[in-house]
Amino acid sequence: MTHVPHTEDEKRSMLARIGVRSVEDLFGDVPTGYRFPWLELPRPLSELEMMAELREISEGNADLQHTACFLGAGAYHHFIPSVVDHVIRRSEFYTAYTPYQPEISQGTLQSVFEYQSMICALTGMEVSNASHYDGATALAEAVIMAINVARGRRTKVVMAPSVHPEYRATARTYTQGMSVEVVGDDRLDNDLQAMVEMVDDRTACLVLQTPDFFGRIVDLAGVADAVHAKGALLAVVCNPIALGLLKPPGAFGADIVLGEGQPLGIPLSYGGPYLGFFACREEYVRRMAGRLVGETIDADGRRGYVLTLSTREQHIRRERATSNICTNQGLNVLAAAAYLAAMGRCGLPQVARLCYHRAHYAADAISVLDQYTVDMAQPFFHEFVVHCPRPVEEINAILLEEHGIIGGYDLSKAYPELVNQMLVCVTEMNSVDEIDALVQALEESA
């Protein structure tokens, strides 16, 4: 038990040990005007008054209920059916911990199993885990998995420059100290064939993204065969909403498919928390990080669900783990499962088509403006690059302050050579009227 000094002599003795003469000396670095009890605090407020004041302060935020948004770059504004929030707020899900005890966790385990099943159907893969922190960490885990599959004999990773820059940075952070060589993403072009040709007998995997960070749809035909011929794996980053319209990477022979699951029923929430979905070929399941729920039969012949192919030690003993991440963003996994179930086979393609067509409507409208150019050299999904007549930062300031519009992403922040280029995103949440207002505002901002 800690001894609490009661006498003045004891207090002075303790102060002397740390080299000060009085308690006041401990706070010498704090300006006098900010020391208790001389703080000039406002008068106490009732709960009613406090809530009114907080609501007034919140009105200064540019929330997406009142502001048109054309900013994407990895986090997207989509419609979320109300049933998603109703499901995840149920107390048995909202407060649930990792389901190590299946006899009391069947509901949580089944929801994760259904999520895994839907991710496999969406990506065209055979096995899905119960997710990672976000898309960036999912990519880092894919890189480490590919190196583990090669049993350390291959430590080179070829990564396209069109992969999300934050994902690439995260992969480098994860692999520092592992003697892993990441190459390819320092190029200024987007030559897919050049990426494939960089794969050699030292390469663990090739990492591509489609739609890529610039919104362009990458043709993966023949890539997997070329990569596999050199003994490497193909990892593909993708947008789950786009998979409602596009052929899944699994159909092209990808070995690992991953991405950010935020578009699947998870609000933007100022950047998180999100979830990273991750799927792979069944032959690599033992090398896959994260948790995996399987379906089985209990002693009475009844269907049941359990964590499988990894023991609890996987998650608490560093030296035995394939990953040191100890959470799977379980509540967001449930939200994604509820969203996919609510949208169904018809709803998800409908969302994807709306995104695609409205984005192309916006691109066509912007392209006719005198001082703007839209990059349409390659097919794109719901994001596209606009060449602007002045710095994007200046244009975005005008859009927000004068028109109440959140503009696109300033590409020069991640790619310094792409000066005056804006990445514009359009989803089903952007009406035709909002798109027309953006076009007019851009014209006035030139």
Distance between CA atoms of residues 438 and 70, nearest Å: 9
Residue 33: how many CB atoms within 10 A of its CB?
8
Distance between CA atoms of residues 14 and 234, nearest Å: 63
Distance between CA atoms of residues 102 and 143, nearest Å: 31
Q: Which of 418, 260, 278, 163 is nearest to 182 (CA)?
A: 163
Distance between CA atoms of residues 303 and 301, nearest Å: 7
Q: How far is CA 115 from CA 112, 121, 264, 274, 305, in A?
A: 5, 10, 11, 15, 13
Tens-digit pLDDT string for the chain (446 aa): 556 656 788 888 888 888 888 888 888 888 877 777 666 778 899 999 999 999 999 988 888 988 999 999 999 999 999 999 999 999 888 877 778 788 888 999 999 999 999 999 999 999 999 889 999 999 999 999 999 999 889 999 999 999 999 999 999 999 998 999 999 998 877 789 999 999 999 999 999 999 999 999 999 999 999 999 999 999 999 999 999 999 999 999 999 999 999 999 999 998 989 999 999 999 999 899 888 999 999 889 999 999 888 755 556 666 767 776 767 688 999 999 999 999 999 999 999 999 999 999 999 999 999 999 999 999 999 999 999 999 999 999 999 999 999 999 999 999 999 999 999 999 999 999 999 999 999 999 98
Q: Which of 219, 209, 159 is nearest to 379 (CA)?
A: 219
Q: Which of 77, 382, 385 is nearest to 245 (CA)?
A: 382
Distance between CA atoms of residues 13 and 3, nearest Å: 13
Structure tokens given for 106: 């069947």
Segment holding 334, helix H or strand E: helix 330-367
3-state secondary structure of 203: strand
Q: Which of 175, 159, 311 is nearest to 235 (CA)?
A: 159
Distance between CA atoms of residues 408 and 410, nearest Å: 7
Q: What is the pTM of this model?
A: 0.88
68-69 and 405-406 strand pairing: parallel
Structure tokens given for 134: 């976000």
Structure tokens given for 176: 């520092």
Distance between CA atoms of residues 288 and 290, nearest Å: 7
Distance between CA atoms of residues 24 and 438, nearest Å: 59
Q: How far is CA 374 from CA 148, 360, 363, 412, in A?
A: 42, 11, 7, 16
Distance between CA atoms of residues 386 and 389, nearest Å: 10
Q: Region of 179 please: left (phi>0), alpha (psi -120 to 50) or beta.
A: left
- Fold classified for 82-340: Aspartate Aminotransferase; domain 2 (3.40.640)
Distance between CA atoms of residues 361 and 428, nearest Å: 12
Distance between CA atoms of residues 197 and 244, nearest Å: 31
- Fold classified for 68-79+344-445: Aspartate Aminotransferase, domain 1 (3.90.1150)
Q: In the chain, where are the structural domains located?
A: 68-79+344-445, 82-340
- Residue 380: beta bridge partners? 216
